Amino acid sequence: MTRISATSEQRDAFNRDGVLCLRGVIDPKLIAVLAEGIDSCLERPGPKGRNFNAVESPGRFAGDVFMWTFDDAMRQFLLDSPLAEIAASFMGSDTAVHMLDQMFVKEPHTPSRSPWHQDQTYMYADGEQLISIWVAADPVTIESGAVEWIKGSHRSGKLYQATGFDPNITYETDDYDVLPDIESNRDQHDIVAYETEPGDIVINHLRTLHAAPGNGTDQRRRAVAYRFTGDDAYYAIRKKGSQPIVDPGLAQGAPMPCDVFPKLWPAPVEAPSLHVDRPR
Ligand SMILES: O=C(O)CCC(=O)C(=O)O
């Protein structure tokens, strides 16, 4: 397996911007495993798999989560890739705990945007060492739906209410601020997007604001984001937010490592064992 750790320049840039693209990190053979896993999950989704857009849309925008617990290729990709080590290195953490994998597939000509959001308030951890790594199985251009990131937004001190990718789901709660209208005021923000080739990765802090346009091309845009937590993170129970695929049985504030959120760095002696059945 490729060994990757952040240089001090890369870590400084990541800490400053809350987002960083690394080129050519994942072996093409492993990207093929990821592509196989994504296609398998599209064909046979897990318990929480769904389409984010209406069936009458020209292109499908599909999502799924915790694929590593029910799909062999997704599990192989997670365990054989260097993502956990990279996550630990960029978080400045001795350990990396895998919180969840989350798929975002925009088939050709899907008009559906991924709305502006921070990841943290959908998810199950608070702390500082919170990171996501976005990996695409296809070349990604601005036109096919490259994710846009607001540089430095992870340092605003704000936590925003999550926004439903599925317009039928809202996460309104007075625990967090209402997200301002970023799209109508784009010139007020330092927005960056990376066009990527398979093997490139984009790392973001879970508080970095981001969004993605639809896919206006004939090319598929298949991607998975891998969410990791570090030493200082702890379990967060949200009044509104998504739930893990299985109740981890953790109390608010508990350390993260458990069967549902396995510690993957340093590499475990025994592979994580959680298995979830796919609906037939
Ligand atoms: O890939 C996308 O369209 C959205 C990705 C995203 O929102 C995320 O990784 O949290």
Strand partners, 50: 63
Closest C-alpha residue for ligand 1 atom 8: 225
To test ligand 1's pocket by mutation, which of 122, 210, 221, 226 has the most ligand atoms within 8 angstroms of CB?
210
Q: Is 279 domain-assigned?
A: no
CATH number, residue 66: 2.60.120.620
Look at residue 251 and tell me if it is in a domain: no
Domain assignment present for residue 200? The answer is yes
Range of the domain at 33: 9-231
Dump strand ranges (E) for the chain: 19-22, 50-51, 61-65, 96-106, 114-117, 125-126, 130-136, 148-150, 191-193, 201-205, 210-212, 221-229, 234-235, 263-265
Nearest by Cα to 242 from 119, 76, 123, 81:
123
Position 193 in a domain: yes
Q: Could you tell me if the CB of 212 is within 6 A of ligand 1?
A: yes
Tell me if 165 CB under 6 Å of ligand 1: no
The pLDDT of residue 57 is 85
Q: Which atom of ligand 1 is nearest to the CA of 204?
A: 9
Cα 114 to middle of ligand 1, angstroms: 6
How many A from CA of 184 to the centre of ligand 1? Answer: 20
Whether 224 is in the pocket of ligand 1, judged by its Cβ within 6 Å, is no
Examine residue 133 and state whether it is found in any structural domain, yes or no: yes
DSSP 97-161: EEEEEEEEEE-TT--PPEEEE-SGGGSSEESS-EEEEEEESS-B-TTTT--EEETTGGGS---B-
207: nearest Cα among 279, 264, 123: 123
Instruction: Output the pLDDT for position 120.
Output: 96
Sorted by sequence, the CB contacts under 8 Å of residue 184 that are 6+ apart come out as: none
- Residue 19 Cβ inside 6 Å of ligand 1? The answer reads no
Say if ligand 1 is within 6 A of residue 114 CB: yes
pLDDT of residue 54: 81
**C-alpha–C-alpha distance, residues 239 and 36, integer Å:** 36
The residue whose CA is least distant from atom 9 of ligand 1 is 225
* pLDDT the model gives residue 5: 81
- For the question of whether the overall pTM of this predicted structure is more than 0.95, the answer is yes
How is residue 109 written in tokens?
Answer: 């000509």
For residue 165, what pLDDT is reported? Answer: 87
Residue 270 Cα to ligand 1 midpoint, Å, equals 30
Of all atoms in ligand 1, which is nearest to the CA of residue 102? 9
Distance (angstroms) between ligand 1 centre and the Cα of 104 equals 6
Q: Is 119 in the pocket of ligand 1 (CB under 6 A)?
A: yes
Domain count, the chain: 1
At residue 117, the pLDDT reads 96
Encode the chain (280 residues) as per-residue pLDDT tens digits: 545 788 999 999 999 999 999 999 999 999 999 999 999 999 999 999 999 998 788 999 999 999 999 999 999 999 999 999 999 999 999 999 999 999 999 999 999 999 999 999 999 999 999 999 999 999 999 999 999 999 999 999 999 999 888 877 778 888 899 999 999 999 999 999 999 999 999 999 999 999 999 999 999 999 999 999 999 999 999 988 789 999 999 999 999 999 999 999 999 999 999 999 999 8
Whether 30 maps to a domain, the answer reads: yes
Ligand 1 close to Cβ of residue 211 (< 6 A): no
Ligand 1 in reach of 148 Cβ (< 6 A): no
Report whether 179 contacts 160 (CB < 8 A). yes
Residue at 122 is within a domain: yes
Q: Tell which atom from ligand 1 comes closest to the C-alpha of 225.
A: 9
Nearest CA owner, ligand 1 atom 1: 104
The confidence score (pLDDT) of residue 3 equals 59
Peptide bond into 266 cis (omega under 30): yes
> 246 and 260 in contact (C-beta within 8 Å)?
yes
CA of 269 to the centre of ligand 1 (A): 31
pLDDT of residue 173: 86
pLDDT score at 168: 76
Residue 258: inside a domain? no
